Amino acid sequence: MAQTKRKTKHRGNAAGVVESRGRTGRKPTAEEKTGKPTGPAKKKYVDKRDKPPSWLQAFYKAAIAAVLVLLVSMFLFKKANEAVALFPIVLLIYVPLSYYIDRMMYQRYQRIKAKERQARRNAQ
């Protein structure tokens, strides 16, 4: 049987390791060598506490809590219909509770940040 001609080069060495060829393009500029991002990639980290609370976030948290209560109550009551009846009640209670707790924490954090900014201004 005749062998067919190989269309690609062999990749790797005897151990099977493929080694990189090194830089084949243009040389990087001094700015690119520093590794500091510029432009849109240079975004500052956004603290989670800086985002105001939303009802959707509160609903997600309440849904997770309600599912956990559902699972625990199914094991405790041993009656699925009682546990399922408790689910919407827990959800109705936890959604506003979660929202107002998030709002309270957000306002507290904003007050602390404002005091820190004021202290920095007074120090200058």
81-110: pLDDT as tens digits: 888 888 899 999 999 999 999 999 999 999
pTM score, two decimals? 0.59
Burial class (CB in 10 A: 0-12, 13-18, 19+), 94: buried
In the chain, where are the structural domains located?
Answer: 49-123
Per-residue pLDDT of the chain (124 residues; tens, 9 = 90+): 667 776 776 666 777 777 666 667 788 788 777 777 666 656 677 777 888 999 999 999 999 999 999 998 888 878 888 888 888 999 999 999 999 999 999 999 999 999 999 998 888 7
pLDDT at 105: 95
